[in-house]
Amino acid sequence: MLVVRSLAKSVPGDRRLFAGLELCVAAGELVAIVGESGVGKSTLLNILAGLDDSDSGEVQIEGISLQGLDETQRTRLRRQRIGFVFQAFHILPYLTLRQNVALPLALVSADAAAITGRADAMLEAVGLGARGDGYARDLSGGELQRVAIARALIHEPALILADEPTGNLDTDTAAKVLRLFADAVRP
């Protein structure tokens, strides 16, 4: 599913975050990347999603090398195959929560009724079923995080990349969210 070979990344100031990084993730596998603040976890996730470039090395998703794709092809791969939960959520304030969650599906499908139905089901799955018509400004940090998770899963991506997806959640909700990820990736 995901193969990383000899990946290296430095940031300005000649600081090497990682080098020679190897990683192999099979379909259905859940992998947690842990490390101190500033060690390079978000940078790694961004590279895996094709949102940032490594200095050298290769990332393959379902056998396709990101390094061999141009920006348009990477965007298409991301839309179709990857769900990304950003640390900063990036919920759009001028769209309702339902519209936010529906967005990845709306980019790849034209069936409005099915998209709305699925967005509502995803909101329900993260415990926000009654909030679909609401806006981001009325939500707590943990609620925003759950909307971001619903949005990342709606198009049934092959690969989910999540940056501290349970950071703002209480223990029970965090456990629910992890179960949701496990269900979503089960082959």
Q: In sequence order, what DSSP letters do the residues of 48-68 get, joined into one string?
A: HTTSS--SEEEEEETTEEGGG
Q: Does 41 bind ligand ATP (CB under 6 A)?
A: yes
Q: Which DSSP helix (H) or strand (E) runs through 42?
A: helix 41-48
CB burial of 122-152 (b: ≥16 within 10 Å; e: otherwise) equals bbebbbbeebbebbbeebeebbbbbbbbbbb
Interface region with ligand ATP, contact rule CB under 6 A, candidates 32-40, 89-97, 165-173, 174-182: 32-40
> Smallest distance from the beta carbon of 8 to ligand ATP, in angstroms?
13
Rounded Cα distance, 108 and 123, in Å: 19
Q: Does 11 bind ligand ATP (CB under 6 A)?
A: yes
Q: Does 40 bind ligand ATP (CB under 6 A)?
A: yes
Q: Does 167 bind ligand ATP (CB under 6 A)?
A: no
Structure tokens at 129: 């079923």
> Smallest distance from the beta carbon of 104 to ligand ATP, in angstroms?
23
> Smallest distance from the beta carbon of 154 to ligand ATP, in angstroms?
25
In Å, how far from its chain's centre is CA 162? Answer: 5
> Smallest distance from the beta carbon of 33 to ligand ATP, in angstroms?
9
Q: Does 182 bind ligand ATP (CB under 6 A)?
A: no
Rounded Cα distance, 82 and 64, in Å: 13
Q: Which DSSP helix (H) or strand (E) runs through 161?
A: strand 159-162
Q: Does 116 bind ligand ATP (CB under 6 A)?
A: no
Interface region with ligand ATP, contact rule CB under 6 A, candidates 33-41, 102-110, 151-159, 167-175: 33-41
Which residues would be at the binding site for ligand ATP (CB under 6 A)?
A: 11-12, 17, 35, 37-43
